[in-house]
Homo-oligomer: A and B are copies of this chain.
Amino acid sequence: MKTVLLKDVSLHLGEKIKLQGWVRNYRKASSKLRFVIFRDGTGFIQAVASKPDMGEENFEKVKLLTIESSLEMIGTAQKHPSRENEYEFLLEDINIINIAPEYPISKKEHGPEFLLNMRHLWLRAPRQNAIMKIRHTCYYAVMEYLESQNFYRFDSPILTPTACEGTTTLFEVPYFDEGSAYLSQSGQLYLEPGIMSLGRVYDFGPVFRAEKSKTRKHLTEFWMMDAEAAFVEHEENMQIQEGLIRHIIRKVIEKNLTELEVLERDVEKLKKADAPFRKITHRQAIDLLKEKGFEIGYEDDFGAQEEVALTEDSDIPLFIEKWPKQIKAFYMKLDSENPDVVLGADLISPEGFGEIIGGSQREDDYDLLLERMKRDNMPLEEYEWYLDLRKYGSVPHSGFGIGFERIVAWMSGTHHIRECIPFPRMINRLKP
């Protein structure tokens, strides 16, 4: 008898098969009929336990099952009598593996603190399961797309001697006799040596921000993908980003329709986002915001409210490019047509999910870069290696970084980013 995964059950209709998994829920229809909602990680199915069909002894075993008990089910799958594209499982027998005591997560509403304390069990809930599957799809889609664009994986270090940007939000780690190490906030600077060896590189790992923010968009530990490419300038940099995001959207729609349904995600909205991305300059964005009544100046950054205001009229992601150099990082290349702005762009998602990519062409001129580092009072000896890249074989190059959980939140339509990572870490949350 074959053991079958639920994702493949449609290929085995009418065969006697074995399933292995857990009781999601059960319902007593009568003294002779029970329904068991069963899950195995790859899918869900309703199993029908009929006392006349399976015999009294086997039916008695079914009556022992509780929520989250584990078992093997033996029987045959068939098309659901009324629901399209659904199947049900006619039980012949079960092998009980473990009978669970009363499950702590019930149907009633639990507060977020309770659920986060129970994260190790909460992950089994259909919504959480669906989000994790979408996360998987997004991750794989990123790798696939970058592979097709000749990027090599090039892991940047987590333990770093200096801060990449800013210093107030760093986690500090005592490091043997070397003083302190800091947990990386971005791998970007370390990708730049990579492109001089490999042409195009990316990393994809955890980054850390010791921010005291408690918003629904902040985690202290989250995953980030940084990509960097030699001989790519500002316009092409945005094209690569657009291609990547649209590939992710298509893959999620292709692979996760079931999960999107569990999450009640509006798939039409995702389909509409798979269109040529819109693009405005920072200056145009400020004008738009002024029209909408915001009090904002031409050298101001945006907050969440401004991002929403700029994207609420369209389902298509929006690049905001050419930012005032004062409010962007030292390594962004100045626009030769207007040296007050940098050749950087932020990509804002639709539907209020905020900024998902920050990217730019990088300053490749040694003297200009040095000047800007001096202006920012950066410790030059710590960055000598980074300056070396402009000395030996400097080339035009660009890159970008994706906040991965924000992509997952957008794709899955999840309000709180803490549900988009298996074990979220926040200012007051380090467990389990």
The interface of chain A, by Cβ under 8 A from chain B, is 3, 5, 7, 20-23, 40-42, 68-70, 97-98, 100-101, 103, 119-121, 123-124, 128-129, 132-133, 135-136, 139-140, 143, 147, 150, 152-161, 171-178, 181, 183, 190, 193-200, 205-206, 208, 210, 212, 220-221, 223, 230-231, 364, 385-386, 388-396, 421-423, 425, 427-432
The answer to whether A133 touches B156, judged by C-beta atoms less than 8 angstroms apart, is no
Query: Hey, which chain B residues are within 8 Å of A364, CB to CB?
Result: 98
Contact among B22, B156, B231, B386 for A196, CB-based, below 8 A: B22
The answer to whether B391 touches A101, judged by C-beta atoms less than 8 angstroms apart, is yes
User: Assuming the A-B contacts A196-B123, A197-B124, are A155 and B223 also in contact, with contact meaning beta carbons closer than 8 angstroms in the complex?
Assistant: yes
Is chain A's binding surface mostly helix, strand, loop or mixed?
Answer: mixed
The answer to whether A159 touches B208, judged by C-beta atoms less than 8 angstroms apart, is yes
The answer to whether B70 touches A393, judged by C-beta atoms less than 8 angstroms apart, is yes
The answer to whether B392 touches A157, judged by C-beta atoms less than 8 angstroms apart, is no
The answer to whether B385 touches A120, judged by C-beta atoms less than 8 angstroms apart, is yes
**Which single residue of chain B is at the shortest CB-CB distance from A135?**
B153
Query: Hey, which chain B residues are within 8 Å of A119, CB to CB?
Result: 193, 385
Which one of A173, A208, A212 has the greatest number of beta carbons of chain B within 10 Å?
A: A173
**Which single residue of chain B is at the shortest CB-CB distance from A154?**
B422
Taking A22-B196, A178-B430 as known contacts, 10 extra A-B pairs with beta carbons closer than 8 A to each other, sorted by chain A number, are A21-B199, A40-B199, A97-B395, A123-B193, A132-B197, A143-B143, A156-B423, A161-B430, A161-B432, A206-B206
The answer to whether A425 touches B153, judged by C-beta atoms less than 8 angstroms apart, is no
The answer to whether A206 touches B208, judged by C-beta atoms less than 8 angstroms apart, is no
**Which single residue of chain B is at the shortest CB-CB distance from A117?**
B385
CB distance from A407 to the nearest CB of B (A): 14
Contact among B21, B157, B423, B432 for A423, CB-based, below 8 A: B157
Query: Hey, which chain B residues are within 8 Å of A395, CB to CB?
Result: 20, 22, 70, 97-98
**Which single residue of chain B is at the shortest CB-CB distance from A190?**
B423
Query: Hey, which chain B residues are within 8 Å of A161, CB to CB?
Result: 430-432
Query: Hey, which chain B residues are within 8 Å of A231, CB to CB?
Result: 3, 20
The CA of A429 and the CA of B161, in the complex, are separated in Å by 10
**Which single residue of chain B is at the shortest CB-CB distance from A101?**
B391
Which one of A190, A195, A389 has the greatest number of beta carbons of chain B within 10 Å?
A: A190
The CA of A200 and the CA of B101, in the complex, are separated in Å by 24
Which one of A3, A5, A21, A119 has the greatest number of beta carbons of chain B within 10 Å?
A: A21
